[in-house]
Protein backbone atom coordinates (compact mmCIF):
# COMPACT_ATOMS: atom_id res chain seq x y z
CA UNK A 1 0.00 0.00 0.00
CA UNK A 2 1.58 3.33 -1.04
CA UNK A 3 -0.08 5.34 1.69
CA UNK A 4 2.64 4.93 4.30
CA UNK A 5 4.08 7.99 6.04
CA UNK A 6 7.33 8.10 4.12
CA UNK A 7 8.11 11.71 4.94
CA UNK A 8 7.68 11.41 8.66
CA UNK A 9 11.12 10.26 9.86
CA UNK A 10 12.98 13.19 8.27
CA UNK A 11 13.50 15.90 10.85
CA UNK A 12 14.30 19.40 9.69
CA UNK A 13 17.98 18.96 10.41
CA UNK A 14 19.22 21.14 7.58
CA UNK A 15 16.84 23.97 8.30
CA UNK A 16 18.30 24.97 11.65
CA UNK A 17 20.48 28.04 11.18
CA UNK A 18 22.13 27.87 14.58
CA UNK A 19 23.67 24.46 14.46
CA UNK A 20 25.85 24.18 17.54
CA UNK A 21 28.14 21.53 16.12
CA UNK A 22 30.77 21.73 13.41
CA UNK A 23 29.94 20.56 9.90
CA UNK A 24 33.58 20.13 8.93
CA UNK A 25 34.67 17.63 11.56
CA UNK A 26 31.06 16.74 12.37
CA UNK A 27 30.92 16.88 16.12
CA UNK A 28 33.08 19.74 17.29
CA UNK A 29 31.42 22.25 19.59
CA UNK A 30 31.06 25.76 18.21
CA UNK A 31 31.78 28.60 20.59
CA UNK A 32 31.31 32.30 20.04
CA UNK A 33 34.67 34.04 19.77
CA UNK A 34 36.12 37.26 18.46
CA UNK A 35 38.62 36.55 15.71
CA UNK A 36 40.93 38.28 13.28
CA UNK A 37 41.27 37.44 9.63
CA UNK A 38 43.57 38.42 6.80
CA UNK A 39 42.67 38.62 3.16
CA UNK A 40 44.24 39.77 -0.05
CA UNK A 41 42.73 42.73 -1.81
CA UNK A 42 44.64 42.87 -5.06
CA UNK A 43 48.27 43.00 -3.96
CA UNK A 44 47.43 44.47 -0.57
CA UNK A 45 47.09 42.32 2.52
CA UNK A 46 44.16 43.44 4.65
CA UNK A 47 43.65 42.51 8.27
CA UNK A 48 40.20 42.70 9.85
CA UNK A 49 40.07 42.47 13.61
CA UNK A 50 37.33 41.88 16.17
CA UNK A 51 35.06 39.76 14.00
CA UNK A 52 32.40 37.86 15.93
CA UNK A 53 32.52 34.24 14.78
CA UNK A 54 31.62 30.74 15.82
CA UNK A 55 34.80 28.70 16.17
CA UNK A 56 34.93 24.92 16.32
CA UNK A 57 36.71 23.91 19.50
CA UNK A 58 37.90 20.73 17.83
CA UNK A 59 39.21 21.63 14.37
CA UNK A 60 39.26 25.42 14.49
CA UNK A 61 36.88 25.93 11.58
CA UNK A 62 35.24 29.37 11.67
CA UNK A 63 31.65 30.15 10.87
CA UNK A 64 30.34 33.65 10.32
CA UNK A 65 26.74 34.62 10.77
CA UNK A 66 25.10 35.87 7.56
CA UNK A 67 25.05 39.38 8.96
CA UNK A 68 28.77 39.29 9.73
CA UNK A 69 29.63 37.91 6.31
CA UNK A 70 27.53 40.68 4.79
CA UNK A 71 29.41 43.38 6.68
CA UNK A 72 32.72 41.86 5.59
CA UNK A 73 31.45 41.92 2.01
CA UNK A 74 30.50 45.57 2.41
CA UNK A 75 33.93 46.41 3.80
CA UNK A 76 35.53 44.64 0.86
CA UNK A 77 33.23 46.52 -1.48
CA UNK A 78 34.41 49.76 0.10
CA UNK A 79 37.93 48.97 -1.00
CA UNK A 80 39.45 49.08 2.51
CA UNK A 81 40.47 52.71 2.34
CA UNK A 82 43.51 53.23 4.56
CA UNK A 83 42.00 56.42 5.93
CA UNK A 84 39.35 54.35 7.69
CA UNK A 85 41.81 51.74 8.95
CA UNK A 86 42.13 51.38 12.71
CA UNK A 87 45.87 51.05 12.45
CA UNK A 88 48.60 49.96 10.08
CA UNK A 89 50.86 47.06 10.94
CA UNK A 90 53.91 45.59 9.32
CA UNK A 91 54.27 41.84 9.06
CA UNK A 92 57.23 39.53 8.42
CA UNK A 93 57.14 37.92 4.99
CA UNK A 94 58.67 34.53 4.27
CA UNK A 95 59.46 32.81 1.04
CA UNK A 96 58.49 29.17 0.82
CA UNK A 97 61.46 26.85 0.87
CA UNK A 98 61.57 23.10 1.12
CA UNK A 99 62.84 22.14 4.59
CA UNK A 100 66.35 20.73 4.48
CA UNK A 101 67.28 22.42 1.22
CA UNK A 102 70.73 23.96 1.09
CA UNK A 103 70.68 27.50 2.38
CA UNK A 104 73.94 28.42 0.63
CA UNK A 105 73.61 31.21 -1.88
CA UNK A 106 70.66 32.80 -0.11
CA UNK A 107 72.91 34.70 2.30
CA UNK A 108 73.26 38.34 1.28
CA UNK A 109 77.00 38.00 1.99
CA UNK A 110 77.31 41.13 4.04
CA UNK A 111 79.31 39.51 6.81
CA UNK A 112 82.36 37.50 5.89
CA UNK A 113 84.44 37.02 9.00
CA UNK A 114 86.71 34.29 7.69
CA UNK A 115 88.89 36.53 5.55
Residues at the contact surface with Zn ion, assessed by CB under 5 A: 22, 24-25, 28, 56, 58-59, 61
Tabulate helix, strand, coil % of the chain (nearest 5).
15, 25, 60
Between residues 29 and 85, which has the closer beta carbon with respect to Zn ion? 29
Between residues 59 and 70, which has the closer beta carbon with respect to Zn ion? 59
User: Is the alpha carbon torsion for 16, 18, 19, 25 positive or negative?
Assistant: positive
CB of 13 to Zn ion, least distance (A): 17
Between residues 61 and 65, which has the closer beta carbon with respect to Zn ion? 61
What order do you get walking across the sheet with 30-41 strand by strand?
A: 30-41, 44-56, 62-63
CB of 62 to Zn ion, least distance (A): 10
Amino acid sequence: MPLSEENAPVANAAATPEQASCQTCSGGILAGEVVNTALWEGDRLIVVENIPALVCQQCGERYYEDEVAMVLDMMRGGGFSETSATRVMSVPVFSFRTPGAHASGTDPGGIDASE
